[in-house]
Amino acid sequence: MRDAYTEQLDELAGFLAGMCNDVATAMEKATRALLEADLQLAEEVIAEDIHIDQIRYAAEEKAFALLVLQAPVATDLRNVVSAIHGAGDIERMGDLALHVAQAARRRHPQPVLPAEIAPYFAEMGRIGVALARKAVEVINTRDLAAAAELEADDDAMDDLHKHMFTVLMDRNWSHGVEAAVDVTLLARFYERYADHAVAVARRIVYVITGQMPGPLSV
């Protein structure tokens, strides 16, 4: 029975890793849609979001079944509880990618971003996707060093997010209120996406060590 239980826990982790891969792909597509005013890509992200939601529900059902039927304790209990919370974090990452895609669709065929702002969002997209991919690695390997790296990698996203306020407050901003609102919201979407990826890594640290970290450390 223990072997079967371990397999169920591994399957639960597989759900989370698969979800995390999906939201990385979603943000990758959404960023391209944003930068290239690609309506087809935006529509793909929007349509595929329901699949991410369905995986979350399936993961939560499996986790609740383990709680009820197996009454896990210690590390096993941390595994199950962290999976429930982690599924929520990852599903939220999918929602944030969805918001980016919806912005691209809303402004199509016009570009959402002023040309000089676009490179910042290309970098935000790159960092966000890399964080999600690294979160997959952390889920699969339970590598504390890789988990700690996510915290440091997230600093670059935070710096870009803060820089957007400097850009928007510049007296030479000439793109109007509508563009400023788009830039503000989109920067927040990327910043929150990265925060949720870090939260996933923190939950794995909790599973391994029994302590929820502040700043991640090994």
d(CA 107, CA 201): 34
* Side-chain half-sphere exposure of 103, counting CA atoms within 13 A: 29
In this structure, which amino acid lies at residue 120? Y
In this structure, which amino acid lies at residue 208? I
pLDDT at 105: 97
Per-residue pLDDT tens listing for the chain (218 residues):
556 778 888 899 999 999 999 999 999 999 999 999 999 999 999 999 999 999 999 999 999 988 888 878 888 889 999 999 999 999 999 999 999 999 999 999 999 999 999 999 999 999 999 999 999 999 999 999 999 899 889 999 999 999 999 999 999 999 999 999 999 999 999 999 999 999 999 999 999 888 877 654 43
pLDDT at 214: 64
Tokens of 18: 């698969």
pLDDT at 211: 80
CA dihedral for 49, 199, 187, 129, sign (positive or negative):
negative
pLDDT at 217: 43
Domains and CATH numbers, the chain: 2-209 (1.20.58.220)
